[in-house]
Structure 1
Amino acid sequence: MTLTGTTLLNGIAVLTRLLTALVLNKVLAVMVGPQGYGVIGQFQSFASMVVAFASAPVTNGVVKYTAEFGGQENRQHEAWRTAATLGLIVSLATSLLLLVFQRPLAMWSIADAGRSWLVVLLAVALAFIVLNALLVAILNGLKQLRSLVLANIAGSLISALTAIGLVSWHGLNGALAALAISQSLAFVATLLIFRRAVRASLRSLFGRLDPALSRGLGRFAIMGLTSAITIPLAQMLMRDHLADNFGWSTAGLWQALWKISETHLLLLTSTLSVYFLPRFAEIQDPNELRRELRRGLAFVTPLVLTTSALLFLGRNDIVELLLSERFLPMLDAFGYQLLGDVLKVISLVPAYTMLSHGQTKVYVVTEVLFAVLLTSLTVWFSDSMGLRGAALGYALTYAIYGVTMWFVVRSLMARLGRVPPP
């Protein structure tokens, strides 16, 4: 399927996710306010870290090998079995650690040991969250886009309805509980969709580990673990800094800025993942890779510039509509945040070459360095400029990241040019 076709089909799932996210953000903003929003963001970062850690063996590596072994059903099943078994082992070990250290982890993540039950909920749900991620990755690698779209729609609706129901019933605690369990509930719907689209039962996904595939998936797991640690940890450190220096309300405003960015970039970033990760994995010719990169940039750059301009022009109405008037102080940082969004999207196109070609060392180094850079710039500029400085740090980080990614692409193209064609 073409990039345009992928975007249009994926847009159905994204539209559903976008609408549910808008409704959910509105409910949370009205019911818990900026301060509660900051606490939710802190636990969300912690949960994201745990989930990404446990699901590292079953995400990007599965997409790559499923696409790479196209037409070789036995090899695909070997890759799935290896990934599923590794994922189950890691998720169960992680769940055990969460149960043992539930109180210290609750204290560290949200400064409230009395809410350690949230860590227990996450531990119970973790294996199902990992299995859901595995099935979605297989559908992506097989380019079963209709089934993938349906699974994403189901997941978005289930997560949103769970969150809205629990926050309406029990306020902030309900919202936090929804973060822990909603992805695991989506597994049931994903499994039903998967069984209709793929000739493989869930039981057949578990079995003997293939040593070579384990090593290959391990490289992708290292990349996933790097993201699992660096990105959410950086967000937690930045949020803590803002809360300590300006209060949890400011931290909640910063969290709202990030949420608007995530919602704004949802269509573009999800399309990049769905289309470019398996597409780049297939390409071994540097000239073809160069053409695909140009097509990607020509496609996403006008879109992100247009959407950013529209958001900036309607920023007052958008904040009141999506959140509430209590979040209007964030408008001072809106322009810098949108600039960061533009630079982020443009830099992600070349960045996907690292993931698709398993450039583990480069990926790990850049992820760590730019997480440190983002945190440092946010702290530095926010000390003198407040919330606006935090958004400026975000924009500057992705300006530097984008330049770095093009050096990475040039290195990859040079390496591919030295490899003789099969």
Structure 2
Amino acid sequence: MLRLLKSSFWSFVSILVRAVSNIAINKLFAIFYGPNGITLYAHFQNLLSIVTTVPDGGVNIGLVKFLAKGQPTSGVYKRYFWAGMLLNFLCILVALGLIFGFPGYYLEAFLREVTWSSGWRWGLYFSIGSMLVTLNLGLQAVVLARQQLKWHVFSSAVMSIGGVLVVYFTQGELPLNILLLWVLAAQAISFFLMLGVLYFKRLLPSLKSISIPKSVYRDLWKYILMALSAVVCLKLTNFYIRDFVIARFDLYQTGLWQAVVKVSENYSTVYSAVISMLVYPRLAAMVNEEDALRKFVRNTFYLVMPGLAAALLLVYLLRDWVLLLLFNEDFVVASYLFDYQLLGDFFRMWSVILTNLIVVRAHVKLYIGWQLSSALLYITLVSVLVKPFGLEGITIAHAVRYAATLAFAMLYYNKYIRP
């Protein structure tokens, strides 16, 4: 019981720090740089996520599973640890190769009006910073697997608060593209701190006399495949949509839409953290117990619905105040975009309970097929709806996309879980 209370406490602290930091950094970007700053900051986060998503959403999920048992001195622990770190590093190189292979597409927004040499240095600093941030997420997965939650919270806090402090103390005096690199550098510092933590906690195994069999890589590969589909179908799709909107409108109008998306991301981050810390581990523990799994999923699914509806209704009623709180008065004109954004968020967040079943049951092909279908539907809807509805067409597409996701998730539940 005491262990559960400690875990819940550190989970709450982690969620609180991330939520407050997200609110603070968005507010500071809005104050110092306005809608243009919000747009570029969101674009930068999406660029960074292209590097981090496969390692963190794929390899690290596997690491948490395989490093949770056994002793850090065991051969199994050593093999999975170093296999995970190697796969993380290779994923980083592939992602950076993709980004720098198409610099005009991925980097143009950050390198406008700079010389070639300045652009080269910007790319180098981004590569180093994104590599350290991604490897740090791997180290966080290790302490999470070993139930060292306070160190996981510590690392997350350093990354979150570091970025906020950089934006606050520079007071809008730096060019946006340079400021983004400083934010990344502040987050990267956590890697060196976590390296020290793992060393002193004796969670950093030696490389001596280690041979990694192919079976270890195969165990981690299925998680990489699911994470790859998330990159292609979520991160790259979001990057494409944002680029499409910037081209159709301008940075200011795109920033208004992104402000609403940022509000969505703030409460979604809290919700996702709760699900990943409290619901997903229970699903994983019951994966081979059909009756218990069925009962838990059904109860959680219907328990979450009224709470979500009430919370999102409150956000809708306070939307003008929320925009003022998180940004400034320039963003209040975006309040009309909340209608379909919140409806889509309701469908998406409610369906998460069911879509987690696909991950926990390792239905890789189904997961990838769902991600591809969802992304193609979203791109098609945006391209069709933007012309007649303007910016609101994007939020309508968002609502339709996740209504379809919820319908798919319920069909999956009925076929694989419900008798």
Q: TM-score, normalised by structure 2?
A: 0.87
Gaps of 5+ in 1: 418-422
The answer to whether 1:217 aligns with 2:220 is: yes
- RMSD across aligned positions (CA): 3.1
Amino acid at match of 1:23: A
Shift of 1:29: 0.7
User: 2:387 matched to which residue of 1?
Assistant: 383
Shift of 1:264: 1.5
Shift of 1:168: 3.5
The answer to whether 1:131 aligns with 2:135 is: yes
Distance change >3 Å, CA 236–CA 102, structure 1 → 2: closer
User: 1:16 matched to which residue of 2?
Assistant: 17
Cα deviation, 1:276-310, whole Å, max 9, x if unaligned, reads: 33332232111121122234335533332232122
Q: Secondary structure at the match of 2:174?
A: helix
Structure 1 distance, partners of 2:371, 2:113, is 31
Counterpart contact for 1:167–1:175, Cα < 8 Å: no
User: 2:279 matched to which residue of 1?
Assistant: 276
Shift of 1:49: 0.9
Q: TM-score, normalised by structure 1?
A: 0.86
Bigger mean CA offset, 250-259 vs 117-126: 117-126
Structure 2 distance, partners of 1:203, 1:298, is 48
Amino acid at match of 1:11: F
Match of 1:242 among 228, 240, 245: 245
Aligned residues: 412
Cα deviation, 1:39-76, whole Å, max 9, x if unaligned, reads: 22223212211222455653222223335x46896534
Shift of 1:217: 0.8
User: 2:364 matched to which residue of 1?
Assistant: 360
Counterpart contact for 2:48–2:130, Cα < 8 Å: no
Shift of 1:400: 1.0
Bigger mean CA offset, 269-278 vs 28-37: 269-278
Query: Residues 3-152 of structure 1 correspond to what in structure 2 (within 5 A)?
Result: 9-53=10-54, 55=56, 58-67=59-68, 69=69, 74-92=75-93, 94-95=95-96, 101=101, 103-104=103-104, 106-107=106-107, 110=110, 112=112, 114=114, 115-152=119-156
Distance change >3 Å, CA 49–CA 113, structure 1 → 2: farther
Structure 1 distance, partners of 2:4, 2:342, is 24
Distance change >3 Å, CA 326–CA 63, structure 1 → 2: same
Gaps of 5+ in 2: none
Match of 1:261 among 253, 260, 264: 264
Structure 2 distance, partners of 1:385, 1:16, is 37
Match of 2:195 among 178, 191, 200: 191
Match of 1:332 among 333, 336, 348: 336
User: Percent sequence identity over matched residues?
Assistant: 22
User: 2:405 matched to which residue of 1?
Assistant: 401
Q: Secondary structure at the match of 1:209?
A: coil
Distance change >3 Å, CA 116–CA 105, structure 1 → 2: farther
Counterpart contact for 2:40–2:109, Cα < 8 Å: no
Shift of 1:235: 1.3
Counterpart contact for 1:106–1:116, Cα < 8 Å: no
